[in-house]
């Protein structure tokens, strides 16, 4: 028994089914984008960590080289001259 509302109910079900399909596709796209962004962020963090460790290693090597250079310079430099104070004669004080 078909009434005047049966076609509209069927049309509504078709519209709902199409909308659910579109929402499912959009939801999947959102998940894909979020996964891509997460992977990209992880790669960026790994890159930054790698660069930081390289920078710290270079700074450490530079400090060691500077310390060695300072030690070599101190060994090769002549000893400082000892300056003696002038003797003050007691007659000059008065």
Q: What is the pLDDT along the chain (94 residues), one digit of tens a residue?
A: 456 556 788 888 888 999 888 888 888 889 999 999 999 999 999 999 999 999 999 999 999 999 999 998 888 877 777 887 777 776 655 5
62 domain-assigned: yes
80 domain-assigned: no
List Cα–Cα distances, 53 to 47, 65, 72, in angstroms. 10, 18, 29
83 domain-assigned: no
* pTM for the structure as a whole: 0.51
1 domain-assigned: no
70 domain-assigned: yes
Encoded tokens for 62? 């530079």
Q: Structural domain tally of the chain?
A: 1
Encoded tokens for 46? 């790994």
Residue 26, classed as helix, strand or coil, is helix
Q: What residues make up the domain containing 64?
A: 10-74
């Amino acid at each position: 028994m078909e009434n005047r509302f049966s076609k509209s109910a069927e049309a509504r079900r078709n519209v709902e089914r199409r909308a659910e399909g579109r929402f499912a596709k959009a939801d999947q796209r959102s998940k894909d984008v979020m996964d891509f962004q997460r992977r990209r962020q992880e790669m960026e963090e790994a890159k930054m960590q790698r660069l930081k460790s390289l920078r710290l290693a270079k700074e450490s090597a530079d400090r060691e080289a500077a310390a060695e250079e300072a030690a070599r310079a101190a060994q090769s430099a002549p000893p400082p001259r000892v300056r003696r104070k002038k003797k003050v004669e007691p007659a000059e004080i008065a």
